Chain A
């Protein structure tokens, strides 16, 4: 495969597409599928055949505003239709070339105008199971450019120049990490993609793996070239069967095209990728636990250093990045590091994909430039809180993050700003809560999650999260005291300081941030035995017995 051959493929795809007068793209992501997108697609194909018009019906990945699904976009007019049912297929096909179907037209200009699409540039435009569709949108060009025109060092330099930081939530500078692995000795190195999106309420990585799998593969191959690795693994949650099947297809097609395997693009570069399935353990999102899981063991983390960059999978230098990080690589190589660094805020470059969910009008996937105000995401892109309720808090970072109150909505989204207010960027879940959510109960929910997901290796996390849960349960059922609250705070600080891995270190974040910003709700529960949101059942105190923990 050479760049000329890639261009040839892209040309033949566009020639093929020119045979059609219209393109009807159907979003086949999980949310739209659960509302009958597959039946809709079949009806559209039937209607198109019956009409005699030249229509290409294409299945695509997530288009974004899932709450308006099933979604259909008609090109070249770029008309977006929402809530489309199979019964609407005839009307849509009939309207092609004429006036649009008014009752299906979707007016989400505000929703899209504020967004900048880098990671999601292909989502909704390509068939994820067709490698040629990806190639026709500059796919694999970055890989071949890197292999034929750049040195591995040059690639690392470009990534460093872009200012890209790890999108899994930690925000470690990607270029620095790549440089460390590149400098590590040894002839065998690994590149791993962390697709273990365990953060409940986040589904960006699923959408990228399902909607544009080749983008992840290309990013990993470029990374492998830069650091000198020959073998890669994608670690995917078993709860994402569609992602696994799309990635399997994508890997097979990439091998057939000679974009993976030995001697890629007539260079001495060899690289191939295997998929590894997770098995439902949140802690496996932590890098050392993930490595243990790939090795076929229990997913328990270990102390760092040594970092995986020096001693990772089977003791070899290993580069580990998140799905979204790899998805950013190809555009950076194509457009240059400076192009990327021009987007975003001073210390957080580029864009970030968020999964906007909870009590908000437009739920779905959004991609925004770093530095954008939370208020713009929630009120403009998200369309605000529905049903006449008032906004109370937005939760970022999942069980490791915190709740940000209404008075802080003018905060610009960046790694450092979110950290400063006691939350984290996290992988990108953004859950909006309104006045019907009890913040103490929300904290209890997250602590219960961390308690059951704690791997049990270190005491602060294993015993601490269980005691946190006991204290929060007492406050929620009305038997809590002010001493309990103080004890809770001091316990949180201990767990934060003393835990072995990120799960324990960040588990107190939801508690501490809700105590900080919604202390009055805690006081109301403790002193007046009342839940302001009416969520907690104060009438049924749990018996004295604390959760028993074998420390």
Chain B
């Protein structure tokens, strides 16, 4: 059997080299699928069809299986994120301390349901299943930065600042 030759990189974009690096580090083994998808998402911000196809071919995983993995895990996103991301923690401690009100306030302010990005691509509204900062509940992540004991008005102010940026 001829030796396996991985497919060429999809473009000159240097980030593909990082993706390829993760696969090479794992010897292009099939079990590196999730690791590689993590690398793609951290390099590109999300997973598009081309990247899933490239990873599946490189690791010799059926495309259906790769797509199945991408859609199974919440962490992977198929849509590009907005310029800013407001993530509201919906863990138990945050729920007890009123995270549902924060989510409702943010949805009203942005006019989009959770999990979506505003039309101008400015702000994504996400929820998380516990970020582990429960002692500071309710918690939101403003572009990944943990902000605890969040009040509705304070969060809306942040959203307003982002909207006009």
Q: A residues engaging B (CB < 8 A)? A: 30-31, 33-35, 66-67, 197-203, 206, 238-240, 276-282, 293-299, 355-359, 363-365, 395, 398, 429, 431, 433, 437, 442, 445-446, 449, 453, 455
Q: Mark B133-161, 1 if CB is under 8 A from A, else 0.
A: 11111010000011110000000000000
Closest to B147 in A: A34
Contact B38 A200 (CB under 8 A): no
Tell me if B33 counts as interface (CB < 8 A to partner A): yes
Decide if B68 touches A298 in the complex (CB within 8 Å): yes
- List B57-93 residues whose CB lies under 8 Å from chain A: 61, 65, 68-69, 72-76, 90-93
Task: Give chain A residues whose Cβ lies under 8 Å from the Cβ of B135.
Answer: 31, 66-67, 203, 355-357, 363-365
**Cβ distance B59 to chain A, nearest Cβ, rounded Å:** 8
- A280 to B74, Cβ gap below 8 A? yes
Q: A279-B75, A296-B32 are in contact. Are A206 and B95 (CB under 8 A)?
A: no
B9 interfacial contact with A, CB 8 Å: no
Pick 11 A–B contacts, CB within 8 A, sort by A. Answer: A30-B133, A31-B135, A31-B136, A34-B147, A34-B148, A239-B75, A240-B132, A276-B35, A277-B35, A279-B75, A453-B129
B96: contacting residue among A33, A198, A296, A433, CB under 8 A: A433
Are B93 and A200 in contact, with the CB atoms below 8 A?
yes
Q: Known contacts A31-B148, A298-B69: does B132 contact A358 (CB below 8 Å)?
A: no
Q: Kindly provide the distance from the CB of A466 to the nearest chain B CB, expressed in whole angstroms.
A: 18
Query: Is B34 engaged at the interface, CB distance under 8 Å to the other chain?
Result: yes
Question: B130 at the A/B interface (Cβ < 8 Å)?
Answer: yes
Q: Complex Cα distance A206/B32, Å? A: 24
B53 within 8 A of A: no
CA–CA, A353 and B4, complex, Å: 49
Which residues does chain B contribute within 8 Å of A35, judged by CB atoms? 136, 148
Taking a contact as CB atoms under 8 Å apart, the answer to whether A30 and B146 are in contact is yes
Give, as a whole number of angstroms, the nearest-CB distance from A402 to chain B. Answer: 13
Residues on A with C-beta less than 8 A from B132 are: 30, 197, 202-203, 206, 239-240
Q: Are B134 and A357 in contact (CB under 8 A)?
A: yes
Shortest Cβ distance from residue A462 to the other chain B in the assembled complex, whole angstroms:
13
Q: Which residues of B are in contact with A by a Cβ distance under 8 Å?
A: 30-35, 37-38, 61, 65, 68-69, 72-76, 90-93, 95-97, 128-137, 139, 145-148
* Contact indicator B34/A293 (Cβ below 8 Å): yes
A201 touches B92 (CB 8 A): yes
Residue of B nearest to A434 (CB): B96
CA–CA, A280 and B74, complex, Å: 5
Query: Which of B72, B75, B92, B131 makes the CB contact (< 8 A) with A395?
Result: B92
**B22 smallest CB distance to A (angstroms):** 11
The residue on B at minimum CB distance from A356 is B135
Smallest beta-carbon distance A309→chain B, Å: 21
Chain B residues with CB below 8 A from A297, complex form: 33, 65, 69
Contact check, A445 vs B92: say whether CB atoms are below 8 A apart. yes
- Are A239's CB and B128's CB within 8 A? yes
A421 CB, nearest partner CB in chain B, Å: 19
CA distance A389 to B61 in the complex (A): 56
Apart from A33-B146, A280-B73, A358-B137: 6 A-B pairs, beta carbons within 8 A: A200-B91, A200-B93, A296-B69, A357-B135, A357-B137, A364-B135
Chain A residues with Cβ under 8 A from B96's Cβ?
A: 357-359, 431, 433, 437, 442
| Bound-complex Cα distance A479 to B109 (A) | 30
B134 touches A277 (CB 8 A): no
Residues in B neighbouring A299, C-beta threshold 8 A: 72-73
Are A279 and B38 touching (Cβ within 8 A)?
yes
B134 partner, pick from A278, A295, A359, A363, beta carbons under 8 A: A363
Min Cβ gap B132→A in Å is 4
Which residue from chain A places its CB closest to the CB of B29 in the assembled complex? A296
Knowing A30-B133, A201-B92, A240-B132 touch, does A281 contact B72 (C-beta < 8 A)? yes
Which residues of chain B are near A279, meaning CB under 8 Å? 34, 37-38, 73-76
Complex contacts, B92 vs chain A, CB 8 Å: 200-201, 357-358, 395, 398, 429, 431, 445-446
User: B128 touching A34 by the CB < 8 A rule?
Assistant: no
A203/B30 in contact, CB under 8 A: no
- Docked CA distance A297–B62 (Å): 11
Closest-by-CB residue of A relative to B93 is A357
- Contact status B31-A298, CB under 8 Å: no
A355–B91 Cα gap in the complex (Å)?
13
B128 to chain A, nearest CB (A): 7
Q: How far is the CA of A355 from the CA of B93 in the complex (A)?
A: 10
A31 with B133: CB separation less than 8 A = yes
On chain A, the residues within 8 Å of B35 by CB distance are: 276-277, 296
